[in-house]
Amino acid sequence: MPGEPKSQTGGAVETTMGNLLRAGVLLSAFVVLLGGIAYLLRYGTAQPGYHVFRGESAALRSVRGIVVQAFALHPRGVIQLGLLLLIATPIARVVFSVYAFARQGDRLYVVVTLIVLGVLLYGLSGA
């Protein structure tokens, strides 16, 4: 709250941030587990060919392709979506930190956190 000292609002921010991280990890684990089960049900008896390396298909190399594959219920797409959710969890934490610092009126930490967010997004963009 704007009128409260930072020490009182800090506990609520830490609790919310912890819940955000916990929910993100649990959701991503659940999605990966569902995709893994579907993958094993469909391809569990197939013999792997380890003598030839086959990377991910082109459809699973972009966020858009992963989302399309996941919503089409392709097991590899669902697994990849779970991994994207896992990657997005700490990014969501940084975004929430910007909001929390701005709400507390801590401009220096807002700027520092925005720089961290920019570096994260730059790194994930593949540039």
pLDDT, one tens digit for every residue, the chain (127 residues): 455 555 446 688 889 889 999 999 999 999 999 999 999 999 888 888 788 887 888 888 889 999 999 999 999 999 999 999 999 999 999 999 999 999 989 899 999 999 999 999 999 887 6
Residue 51 falls inside a structural domain: no
Residue 50 falls inside a structural domain: no
Residue 74 structural domain: 6-45+57-124
Residue 9: what pLDDT?
62
From the list 42, 121, 27, 114, the residue with the least C-alpha distance to 75 is 42
CA–CA gap between residue 121 and residue 90 (Å, rounded) = 12
- 125: tokens are 């963009």
Residue 54: what pLDDT?
79
Residue 72 falls inside a structural domain: yes
List CB contacts of 16: < 8 A, sequence separation 6 or more.
96, 100
CA–CA gap between residue 35 and residue 117 (Å, rounded) = 29
Residue 113 falls inside a structural domain: yes
Residue 11 falls inside a structural domain: yes
Residue 10: what pLDDT?
66
List CB contacts of 93: < 8 A, sequence separation 6 or more.
17, 20, 21, 24
Q: What is the pTM of this model?
A: 0.80
Residue 1 falls inside a structural domain: no
Q: Read off the DSSP letter of residue 50.
A: T
- 47: tokens are 């013999």
119, 32 Cβ separation under 8 angstroms: no
The domain total for the chain is 1
Residue 108 falls inside a structural domain: yes
